Chains A and B, each alone.
Chain A
Amino acid sequence: MDVVAALFSTVYQFGDAFAFLVISCAGLAVIFGMMGIINLAHGEFIMCGAYVTAATARAGLPLPLAIACGALAAAAVGMVVERTVIRHLYHRPLDSIIATWGISLIATQGVLIVLGPTMQGIGTPLGSMAVGDRSYSIYRLVLFAASIGLLASLYLLFYRTRFGVIARATIQRPAMARALGVDTRRVYGLTFGLGAGLAGLAGGLYAPTMTMVPTMGATFIVESFVTVVVGGTDIFMGAAPAAAILAVIRAGLTAWYGQLFGQIGLLVAVIVVIRVLPGGLSAFIRRWQR
């Protein structure tokens, strides 16, 4: 029984870290993989999703619907930002990062001014369960399932739908896609909206577990950036395995030395990975496949 409990504890820790990494980096990875833009306002889209989720949930909507509202709101904001700012900067990737940082400053401080330093959150649903002599939050297990579901549905979206084919064509050969009649600007706009929506989804999913403050996006930033850097440009061949590896590192270090060393371990991992595997895991896997 002890062995089972210890095993469950380990798997739970890993699942928790994996879910956090995958869910928080999905939006960033989609935007970066498809458009080559690092969205520094990623954390603020997460915050937007979390705020909308919390507000709608407290207004009486059931939590899953509230989370959907959060994701849709973030997606809408994302499309507006793309239309007004990002669209003009596609040929200047470095400038687009700076512009998104400006947006992030405006969003954090704007929310602070308009909504105040904190907002009433929503409690973690579903209660807890006991394995051995420890209790575990069931909601965290739901989050793990959600991260797997998220990867599966993104796979279906990009590899089994018409939008996915057009989107992949647009990344690989923009000029050719345009020649074949694809409206690439629209594809980019939709992709950015999708990425922002996924960030909003992350915010919604984690809203019940966190304190609602305007700077809450910063909690996700390091983890999601690190995952994308280790993963490289491909979300399935890069970000997902990267999240698995980093989750092992983080769960192990967190269990033994505490939260902080989990984060430092991630950072050291990323610096070592970029030194030995330029281009990230996805470039490595692609080379190995050949």
Chain B
Amino acid sequence: MSSLNSPDTTARPPARRGPRKWLARLEGPQTMGHGPAFWAAAVLVILAAAAYPQFANDFTVGNVAYFMVWTFMAMGLGVVWGYGGALSFGQTAFFGLAGYGYGVVSINIGSAFGLTWLALVLAVALGGAFALLIGYFMFYGRIKGVFIGIVTLSVTLVLETFMAQTAGPQWRIGDARLNGFNGMSGMPPLTVPWPGGDILLYSGTALYYVLLAMVVLVYLGLRMLLNAPFGNVLVAIRENPERTEMLGYDIRFYQMLAFGLGGALAGLSGALYTAWGQYITPSSMGLTAAALPIVWVAVGGRRDITATLLGSLLVIAGFQSLTIYGSQYALVVMGGLLVFTVLVTPDGLVATAMDRIGRLSRKMRR
């Protein structure tokens, strides 16, 4: 697999100028897909996604927008787990915290002048800062492997319990009532200030385009980051922490940063989710909710950001249609899918498929 190449074998490509230089930064040993054919396909996919609302009704467009809300958390987990090798079970802690953060801030400052975007930024910062704090204790405490999973899982479960008991009127932050087990509601959706009336971004086409742009930006940004020295060090830590440390890198610092990034991305998902549905409940941090990102990323493929993105969208869409046709069996299927993936295609279904396609096309070119 291309992502397994150790970073020291990469020779820097010759310096290029203009757009080609930027394109070169998007490619590297840590991500699948390169060359004009891949990018042409990527542009086609984005164009198709942009044209999609013209051919579908509002309801399905809103549904797809809802799927895209979750991909940020999945990509964050991909960076932390797939690239950094730290399996976090508690991404939902940052998701939920940022969700509540968005609610509290946006209820208190209102939605005039696009202030909801400030609430979004603050919520993401809150998720990221909390992740940095937890990451500091974990990585500077030198815990690794399974313990990271346990600590993060405990964090999210305790947050759920805490939020579930905030039912009384004394649990309020400014005007925002936390509302215990039933969850918080009534926060404004994201708004874009516009002459002649703000554009409200809930469900429908406007939100779809905003989310599509954000997914593309985050995806490209992560590709750039993962192929930069930071990504190489992260993969080196995953492959051999001792050796990386002997080479002079403070692995605790890199892991903490990666974990913070993962937390911020989970927070972005959480804040967007809250803005999308205008509610957030403690069960979004519960055991079942915490399992789902693991399913998406494991089934999609964790060692490549493209596979993580596509796989998560696929699994989320599949899960959604299962819930419509037989809600109670959806979780059983997810569990079965997880066990199957781990036993049969440990690199993930989508990643394995992409690998096969890549090999096939190389063979045909010969």
Q: Which A residues form the contact surface with B (CB < 8 A)?
A: 32, 36-38, 85, 88-89, 92-99, 101-110, 112-113, 215, 218, 221-222, 225-226, 228-229, 260, 263-264, 267, 270-272, 274-276, 278
* Contacting pair A267 B141 (CB below 8 A): no
Q: Which of B143, B146, B161, B328 contacts A109 (CB 8 A)?
A: B328
Not counting A102-B334, A215-B287, A263-B161, a sample of 15 additional A-B residue pairs whose C-beta atoms are within 8 angstroms of each other reads: A85-B343, A89-B342, A94-B146, A95-B346, A97-B149, A99-B343, A101-B335, A102-B338, A105-B334, A108-B331, A225-B153, A260-B162, A267-B158, A274-B137, A275-B141
Residues of B close to A229: CB separation below 8 A: 147, 150-151, 154
**B335 and A104: CB pair below 8 A?**
yes
**Residues of A with C-beta under 8 A to B343:** 85, 88-89, 99
Q: Which of B134, B138, B294 contacts A98 (CB 8 A)?
A: B294
B339 pairs with A264, CB closer than 8 A: no
Q: Chain B contacts of A97 at CB under 8 A?
A: 87, 146, 149
> Is B196 located at the chain interface by the 8 A CB criterion?
no
Q: Is B124 an interface residue (CB 8 A)?
A: no
Known A-B contacts A94-B145, A94-B146, A103-B335; A113 and B328 likewise in contact (beta carbons under 8 Å): yes
Residues of B within 8 A of A228 (CB): 150
Would you call B150 and A109 a contact (CB within 8 A)?
no
Question: Are A98 and B142 in touch, CB under 8 angstroms?
Answer: no
* Listed A/B pairs (10) with beta-carbon separation below 8 Å: A88-B343, A97-B149, A101-B335, A102-B336, A102-B338, A102-B339, A105-B338, A267-B158, A274-B137, A274-B151
Partner of A101, one of B147, B162, B294: B294
* Interface flag for B288 (CB, 8 Å): yes
B291 at the interface (CB under 8 A from A): yes
Chain A residues near B2: list those with CB within 8 A.
none
Q: Of all chain A residues, which has the CB nearest B334?
A: A105
Instruction: Tell me which residues across on chain B come within 8 A of A32, comparing CB atoms.
Output: 146
Q: Does B140 interact with chain A (Cβ within 8 Å)? A: yes
Given known A88-B343, A218-B287, A260-B162, contact A98–B338 (CB-CB < 8 A): yes
| CB-based nearest A residue for B330 | A109
Residues of chain A lying within 8 A (CB to CB) of residue B331: 105-106, 108-109
Q: Is B155 an interface residue (CB 8 A)?
A: yes
Is the CB of B22 closer than 8 A to any CB of chain A?
no
**CB atoms of A264 and B346 under 8 A apart:** no
Cα–Cα distance between A229 and B149 once the two chains are bound (Å): 11
A105-B288, A218-B157 given; A113·B146 CB < 8 A: no
Task: Write the B151-186 contact mask toward A (1 if CB under 8 angstroms, else 0).
Answer: 101110110011001000000000000000000000
Asked whether, in the complex, the Cβ of A275 is within 8 Å of the Cβ of B338, the reply is no
> Is the beta-carbon distance between A103 and B142 smaller than 8 angstroms?
no
Cα distance, A184 to B153, chains bound together (Å) = 31
A278 close to B339 (CB less than 8 A): no
B88 to chain A, nearest CB (A): 11
Binary contact readout B263-297 vs A (1 if CB under 8 angstroms, 0 otherwise): 00000000000000000000000111001001100
Q: How far is the CB of A37 from chain B (nearest CB, A)?
A: 8
| Chain B residue contacts of A110, Cβ below 8 A | 332
Provide the bound-state CA to CA distance between A94 and B298, in Å. 11
Known: A95-B346, A99-B342, A275-B141. A105 touches B154 (CB 8 A): no
A234: shortest Cβ distance to chain B, in Å? 15
> What is the CA–CA distance of A271 and B342 in the complex, to the nearest angstrom?
30
Q: Give the shortest distance, in Å, between A221 (CB) and chain B (any CB).
A: 7
A192 to B172 Cα, complex, angstroms: 47
Q: Which residues of chain A come closer than 8 Å to B89, judged between CB atoms?
A: 101
Best-buried of B137, B334, B338 by chain A (most CB within 10 Å): B338
B318 → chain A, closest Cβ, in Å?
15
B39 interfacial contact with A, CB 8 Å: no
Contact of B161 with A274 in the complex, beta carbons under 8 Å = no
**In the complex, per-residue mask of B320-364: 1 if CB is within 8 Å of any chain A CB, else 0:** 000000001101101111110011001000000000000000000
Give the complex CA separation of A101 and B294 in angstroms: 9
Chain A residues within an 8 Å CB radius of B134: 271
Q: A21 CA to B343 CA in the complex, in Å?
A: 32
Contact of B142 among A89, A102, A278 (CB under 8 A): A278
CA–CA, A225 to B145, complex, Å? 14
* B342 x A98 contact (CB < 8 A): yes
A97 vs B328: C-alpha distance when bound (angstroms)? 24
Within 8 A of A (CB), among B227-249: none
The reply to whether A263 and B137 contact each other, CB–CB distance below 8 Å, is no
B293 → A minimal CB distance (Å) = 11
B298 touching A98, Cβ below 8 Å: yes
Q: Is the CB of B151 within 8 A of A264?
A: no
Cβ contacts under 8 Å, A92 to chain B: 346
Most chain B CB within a 10 A radius of its CB, from A85, A97, A226: A97
Q: Which residue of A92, A271, A272 has the most chain B CB atoms within 10 A of its CB atom? A: A271
**Contacting residues, chain A, for B337 (C-beta < 8 A):** 102
Q: Who on chain B is nearest to A232 by CB?
A: B147
